[in-house]
Amino acid sequence: MTLATVRGMKDILPPESARWTELEGLFRAHAVRYGFLEIRTPLLERTELFARAVGETTDIVEKEMYTFTDRSGESLTVRPEGTAPVVRALLNHRADAGEWPARFFYIGPMFRHERPQKGRLRQFHQFGAEAFGTDSPYADAEAVAFLHGFLAAAGLAGVSLEINSLGDPECRPAYLDALASFLAAKEGELCDDCRRRAGRNPLRVLDCKAERCVRATADAPSILDFLCGPCRDHFHGVESALASSGILFSRNPRMVRGLDYYRRTTFEFVIPGMGAQNTVAAGGRYDGLAEMLGGRERVPAIGFAVGVERLLMLLGEGRAAGPSAEAYLVVATPALLPEAFRRKMELSACGVRADMDYEGRSVKSQFRRADRSGARVVLVFGEDEAHRGAVVYRDMERGLQEEIPAETAIRRLCDREKKEE
């Protein structure tokens, strides 16, 4: 029996892999425009990092992490998200981060032990960005604008932006009290998980996707009514910066995000009607995280992450991959293989995608393969031509063929490549 992949983990094969590369390229290009530089952190971190950063009572830490004890007895976790590692890296290399604001982006896999379903995997991928060192609402608006620009360039339609503020340690406690008393009265209507959550982390209940919980909390108090002066000013600052950049949004006071580190602004790009997997990208401000992780100073920060699988799913079937070859080399007899092979290597070296058959198939079969390869030019290596140092150059698009010196054929193909670059 052959072995299958681990549940919830997927191979990415061509032609799909080409769409990944394309999307990654697009994200990188946008990141650079907005001043974000790439950071790559290890896949493994000390478990404590996520327990402290993401929060002990979040779904991620409670039940989704891939945690194990390594050979030296240390508890390690395969990263479930990208923000905590980036903050850890920033604290470890504070001196290298340069002047504030420091802006980073990352691309890579994340791991969560969730129930696999459409748009929900155990190894999934995120594009993320984090900006450190500024409190300004313009930084929030800029992160949103970057994400908005990227999603639009990727061709995502029908997406809407929702924003909220979660307040800060000044004003949130009063809201949590109000929410907790509201939930206490609704206890019987909540799902089992939420009955537990209601006491320990009431915000989580607003994030529950169970229909009964959504119904029970329909008229829960709104956090926006509880914001203190500075948080309200910040929220209005974000709203007006977005409005003045022509980015449409709506308020969603129920949006709490699945991680504990958020402060003030949170935002999501959602596709209506996609069920529980409707969030394509999400982010927020997390000014307190660096201190929670042992940093000596307060480092204001704002970031987001895009779910790559969900984005690809929403973009639908992409364009088919281009032709697999530009030139196909047909060999009349196996004795000409060495010469044809040498020429194929020359073509590859100058940037022409060339293909040929190494198995000694009939000429007819080689021509069939040449056709299927989509090659625009077929070079035929025949015995008679070989004596004259020549090949047959067949232009498949124009249906013309001529005998020319092999050197000339190679040069022509390489020049054509250069012209099209």
Task: State the nearest-atom distance from the C-beta of 307 to ligand ATP, in Å.
Answer: 2
Q: Which of 27, 124, 262, 286 binds ligand ATP (CB under 6 A)?
A: 124
- Which residues in the 293-322 window bind ligand ATP by CB under 6 A? 305, 307, 309-310
| Order of strands, sheet of 354-356, starting from the edge strand that comes earlier in the sequence | 354-356, 327-331, 377-381, 390-395, 400-405
Task: State the nearest-atom distance from the C-beta of 289 to Mg ion, in Å.
Answer: 18
**Cα–Cα distance for residue pair 344/83, rounded to 1 Å:** 46
| Order of strands, sheet of 102-111, starting from the edge strand that comes earlier in the sequence | 37-38, 102-111, 123-132, 301-307, 279-285, 263-270, 160-165, 250-251
* Interacting span for ligand ATP (CB under 6 A) from 66-74, 96-104, 119-127, 166-174: 119-127
Using the minimum distance from each CB to ligand ATP, give the nearer residue, 206 or 409: 206
**Cα–Cα distance for residue pair 220/182, rounded to 1 Å:** 7
Would you say 248 and 257 are in contact if contact means Cβ atoms under 8 Å apart?
no
The entry of Mg ion, ligand ATP, none near residue 81 (CB within 5 to 8 angstroms by kind) is ligand ATP
Q: Catalog residues that contact Mg ion under the rule CB under 5 A.
A: 258
* Total residues interacting with ligand ATP, rule: CB under 6 A: 18
Using the minimum distance from each CB to ligand ATP, give the nearer residue, 54 or 198: 54
Task: State the nearest-atom distance from the C-beta of 207 to ligand ATP, in Å.
Answer: 7
Cβ neighbors of 20 (< 8 A, separation 6 or more) are: 12, 308, 312
**Cα–Cα distance for residue pair 259/61, rounded to 1 Å:** 9
Using the minimum distance from each CB to ligand ATP, give the nearer residue, 59 or 326: 59
Burial 237-251 (b: 16+ CB within 10 A, else e): bbbebbeeeeeebee
- Is residue 112 near ligand ATP by the rule CB under 6 A? yes
- Which residues in the 262-281 window bind ligand ATP by CB under 6 A? 277, 279-281
Residue whose C-alpha is closest to residue 269's, from 255, 257, 279: 279
DSSP 154-173: HT--S-EEEEEE---TTTHH
Using the minimum distance from each CB to ligand ATP, give the nearer residue, 281 or 329: 281
Q: Which of 121, 139, 242, 391 binds ligand ATP (CB under 6 A)?
A: 121
Residue whose C-alpha is closest to residue 254's, from 190, 199, 187, 204: 204
- Is residue 120 near ligand ATP by the rule CB under 6 A? yes
Residue whose C-alpha is closest to residue 54's, from 262, 196, 299: 262
Using the minimum distance from each CB to ligand ATP, give the nearer residue, 151 or 305: 305
Task: State the nearest-atom distance from the C-beta of 305 to ligand ATP, in Å.
Answer: 4
- Is residue 258 near ligand ATP by the rule CB under 6 A? yes
Q: What is the DSSP letter of 60?
A: I
The entry of ligand ATP, Mg ion, none near residue 307 (CB within 5 to 8 angstroms by kind) is ligand ATP
Q: Which residues bind ligand ATP (CB under 6 A)?
A: 81, 112, 114, 120-121, 124, 126, 257-258, 277, 279-282, 305, 307, 309-310
